[in-house]
Amino acid sequence: MPGRLSQTVRSDARYNREHILDAAREVFAADGLNAPMREVARRAGVGPATLYRHFPTKEILATEAFAGQMRTCETIVDDGLANPDPWQGFCSVIERICELHARDRGFTAAFTSAFPHAVDFTERRERTLKSVAKLARKAKRSGHLRQDFVLDDLILVLMANSGIHASSPATRAAASRRFAELVIRAFRTSPL
Amino acid sequence: MPGRLSQTVRSDARYNREHILDAAREVFAADGLNAPMREVARRAGVGPATLYRHFPTKEILATEAFAGQMRTCETIVDDGLANPDPWQGFCSVIERICELHARDRGFTAAFTSAFPHAVDFTERRERTLKSVAKLARKAKRSGHLRQDFVLDDLILVLMANSGIHASSPATRAAASRRFAELVIRAFRTSPL
DNA sequence: AAACTAACGGACGCACCCGTCCGTTTCGCT
DNA sequence: AGCGAAACGGACGGGTGCGTCCGTTAGTTT
């Protein structure tokens, strides 16, 4: 008995917390980070106060809501590194990351202009970027990636990709796919 | 004397109108179309009511403020068409338009997601795009531009370019230049 | 110079969003 | 079942931006 300190989390609290996170994911994906907190609360079926009690600020909410996406990002890069052909791995990273960012309007903003206070988020981000750099080195050695590729180019691509604000998700996805294709072509060694 | 209908435009009105337009150009260039109308009024040294009397809506103000940029756009494309080497002309269009859009934060938004009600603005836009299409055809015939380039690719590039929201204008310009370079490389015929 | 009127701008109402307070409900434990 | 605390949510205050009203200013005309 004396061992447990405050383990008893009330069931409704836990329930609401999950629902808020689900709602946040939906709303942020559809409308971006500018979506009002109220909208998240509404969709979760809770009052604003409850939302703010669980997540004191929008930044914290977004960080937690995007944890999954962040993991996906890491997986994508790890998969790319695991690919026996570094250039193919590099291409798959570009394609899949562009697709991920196109599907979720809020995530790009979170990833590129990263929150100042989300510690473990930026930490993961840095680690992922390091892996990309490693993959890029391999791809350069394989002779398929331009020698003058720099990591900032990837950020550039992500920011640019975020500029694609097509109305329907379908259009957005198509545009993003086309964009990834262009970018890959731009990064491939030219035979000059 | 009876010929003139309402020629008498008061001098202060004319003066203010010009100042408002100047202010709008500065503010929209620096902060984008999201900049508050008040800021424009403040910088022009007039009250909000005066601003709204001259330009009943933000859309109208932006349209008039960007008329010059729109003309510049046309000039850029015309120059490109006049270039004896269509591919060089095409490249110059990409470079200069990206630069133009990077320098002015608001113009891209105005150009890509064009206002629904700005008639002669969209008209000019269409005409300019037609010229680009013509230039693209020539560049394709010259053998340097990919056969599968479509006009939507240019819109895609502009939208993507608008995604580059670097803090300082200098950084933004540099990023945009790099971006133009990547894009040109992507559009060049590959020797596969 | 006087008066007529166009133009001005401070102040207003409205809508939206953020984050918080506090009275009420509901869970969990005994 | 009853009680204490944790959690809830409606309502509030603060801030910002848009577009408008109306009393005041100042250009123009005779």
Q: What is the pLDDT of residues A145-184, one digit of tens each?
A: 999 999 999 999 998 998 888 878 899 999 999 999 999 9
Mention every residue, 6+ apart, whose C-beta is less than 8 A from residue A179: A98, A160, A161, A164, B156, B160
Cα–Cα distance list, A85 to A81, A91, A97, A154 (Å): 9, 10, 18, 19
* DSSP characters over B15-80: HHHHHHHHHHHHHHHHH-TTS-HHHHHHHHT--HHHHHHHSSSHHHHHHHHTHHHHHHHHHHHHHH
Q: Which bases of chain D are contacted by protein, using any atom under 7 A from a CB?
A: 6-12, 16-22, 26-29
**Segment A17-29, tens digit of pLDDT:** 999 999 999 999 9
Distance from CA of A156 to the nearest CA of B (A): 7
User: Which segments of chain B have a pLDDT < 70?
Assistant: 1-7, 113-118, 191-192
Residue B33, nucleotide of least CA–C1' distance: D17
Those of residues 88-147 in A touching chain B at CB distance below 8 A are 113
Strand partners, B145: B188
Indicate the range of A56-65, A109-118, A133-142, B50-59 predicted with least confidence: A109-118
Return the structure tokens found at B68: 């010059």
The verdict on a CB contact (< 8 Å) between A185 and B183 is: no
A17 in contact with nucleic chain C (CB within 7 A): no
The pTM score is 0.88
Average pLDDT taken over every residue of chain A: 90
A68 in contact with nucleic chain D (CB within 7 A): no
The verdict on a CB contact (< 8 Å) between B159 and A182 is: no
Nearest to B102 by CA among B178, B48, B153, B10: B178
Q: What is the pLDDT of residue A115?
A: 66
Q: Are A159 and A141 within 8 A, CB to CB?
A: no
B56 in contact with nucleic chain D (CB within 7 A): yes
Q: Are B184 and B157 within 8 A, CB to CB?
A: no
CA A6 to C1' C24, in angstroms, rounded, equals 24
Q: What is the pLDDT of residue B82?
A: 98
In chain A, residues with a C-beta closer than 8 Å to the C-beta of B183 are 182, 186
Q: Which bases of chain C are contacted by protein, using any atom under 7 A from a CB?
A: 6-12, 16-22, 26-29
Tell me if chain A has a CB within 8 Å of the CB of B161: yes
Between CA A118 and CA A57 the distance in angstroms is 11
A58 in contact with nucleic chain C (CB within 7 A): yes
Instruction: Say whether pLDDT at A1 is over 60.
Output: no
The verdict on a CB contact (< 8 Å) between A182 and B179 is: no
Mean pLDDT, residues A21-44: 95
Degrees to nearest 5, angle at CA B155 with B109 and A102? 80
Q: At residue B78, what is the residue type?
A: D
Instruction: Identify the three-state secondary structure at position B188.
Output: strand
pLDDT category at A122 given cuts 50, 70, 90 is confident
Q: At residue B137, what is the residue type?
A: R
Return the structure tokens found at B42: 């403040």
Nearest to A180 by CA among A108, A99, A110: A99
Return the structure tokens found at B116: 């629904």
Q: What is the pLDDT of residue B120?
A: 75
Those of residues 162-191 in A touching chain B at CB distance below 8 A are 162-165, 175, 178-179, 182-183, 185-188, 190-191
pLDDT category at A113 given cuts 50, 70, 90 is low
Mention every residue, 6+ apart, whose C-beta is less than 8 A from residue A39: A27, A31
Those of residues 12-41 in A touching chain B at CB distance below 8 A are none
| Element counts in chain B: helices (H) and strands (E) | 10, 0
Residue nearest to nucleotide C26 (CA to C1'): A12
Instruction: Say whether pLDDT at A35 is over 60.
Output: yes
Q: Where does A32-118 have alpha helices with state H?
A: 37-44, 48-54, 58-65, 67-82, 86-103, 105-112
